[in-house]
Chain A
Amino acid sequence: GAVVSQHPSRVICKSGTSVKIECRSLDFQATTMFWYRQFPKQSLMLMATSNEGSKATYEQGVEKDKFLINHASLTLSTLTVTSAHPEDSSFYICSAREEALNTEAFFGQGTRLTVV
């Protein structure tokens, strides 16, 4: 199957700093990418959907100025957590999909963010 690479897998940052997470599709063109977060003991929560070359669509309750999503190319999307706070500590995972018939979404390995 297709491969989605997410980097970094773990990151620890100081409160107030910004962190960028990358999601790359390695062998296909990801027309659409999805960003999720998971709080401990809770389900995966969709944060936003991004289509290449256009602004991301954020789910209700997700601050777009806080979580900046850029999908500038068909193989790369980035999520930047700006001015991170301890409550932003979470597991973030991306998935990517090619806009073709019946293609499934492929997931990255996830990023464990800890804000201290």
Chain B
Amino acid sequence: ILNVEQSPQSLHVQEGDSTNFTCSFPSSNFYALHWYRWETAKSPEALFVMTLNGDEKKKGRISATLNTKEGYSYLYIKGSQPEDSATYLCAFIDSNYQLIWGAGTKLIIKP
């Protein structure tokens, strides 16, 4: 059974602080890992598509790293702002192109 876990489930961060959270996935049969950002009442948006071990991707203050050998990806947010409050979802895609979702990390930025 393929399992994708995200931790923590929820996170409260003070505005201006940096933070990170984790997506763990099977280390075998890896094809790709996706990160999504989802604000309540809006459609989730794709942040990153990561495919190679050691990948680092960046979009503004948000960045992500990938370790396929040990089966984890970190999402970092630098200098958190209230608009960063959202649920961050990761999705693991295996070599059969099967997509498995994590349950998400809910991030709340406190002003």
Check A97 for interface membership: any CB of B closer than 8 A: yes
The reply to whether A104 and B34 contact each other, CB–CB distance below 8 Å, is yes
CA distance A109 to B99 in the complex (A): 20
The reply to whether B99 and A102 contact each other, CB–CB distance below 8 Å, is no
The reply to whether A105 and B87 contact each other, CB–CB distance below 8 Å, is no
CA distance A1 to B46 in the complex (A): 10
User: Nearest-CB distance from B21 to chain A (Å)?
Assistant: 13
The reply to whether B91 and A105 contact each other, CB–CB distance below 8 Å, is yes
Per-residue contact bits, chain B 25-56, to A (CB 8 Å; 1 contact, 0 not): 00000011010101011011010010100000
Contact residues on A (Cβ < 8 Å of other chain), bracket = 20 to 34
The reply to whether B99 and A97 contact each other, CB–CB distance below 8 Å, is yes
Given contacts A102-B32, A105-B91, is CB(A46)–CB(B101) below 8 Å?
Answer: yes
User: Nearest-CB distance from A13 to chain B (Å)?
Assistant: 21
The reply to whether B9 and A105 contact each other, CB–CB distance below 8 Å, is no
CA distance A1 to B9 in the complex (A): 29
The reply to whether A95 and B49 contact each other, CB–CB distance below 8 Å, is no
The reply to whether A99 and B43 contact each other, CB–CB distance below 8 Å, is no
CA distance A20 to B87 in the complex (A): 27
The reply to whether B43 and A104 contact each other, CB–CB distance below 8 Å, is no
Residues of B within 8 A of A46 (CB): 101, 103
The reply to whether B97 and A44 contact each other, CB–CB distance below 8 Å, is no
Residues of A within 8 A of B103 (CB): 43-46
Of all chain A residues, which has the CB nearest B106? A43
Check A67 for interface membership: any CB of B closer than 8 A: no
The reply to whether A43 and B101 contact each other, CB–CB distance below 8 Å, is no
Binding site for A on B (CB under 8 A): 9-10, 31-32, 34, 36, 38, 40-41, 43-44, 46, 49, 51, 87, 89, 91, 93, 97, 99, 101, 103-104, 106
Given contacts A44-B104, A93-B43, 9 further A-B contacts (CB under 8 A): A34-B99, A38-B40, A43-B9, A43-B103, A102-B51, A102-B93, A104-B46, A105-B46, A110-B43
Binding site for B on A (CB under 8 A): 1, 4, 32, 34, 38, 43-46, 93, 95, 97, 99-102, 104-105, 107-110
29 interchain pairs, CB-CB under 8 A: A1-B46, A4-B43, A32-B99, A34-B99, A38-B40, A43-B9, A43-B10, A43-B87, A43-B103, A44-B87, A44-B89, A44-B103, A44-B104, A45-B103, A46-B103, A95-B44, A97-B99, A99-B97, A100-B97, A101-B97, A102-B31, A104-B36, A104-B46, A105-B46, A105-B91, A107-B43, A107-B44, A108-B43, A110-B43
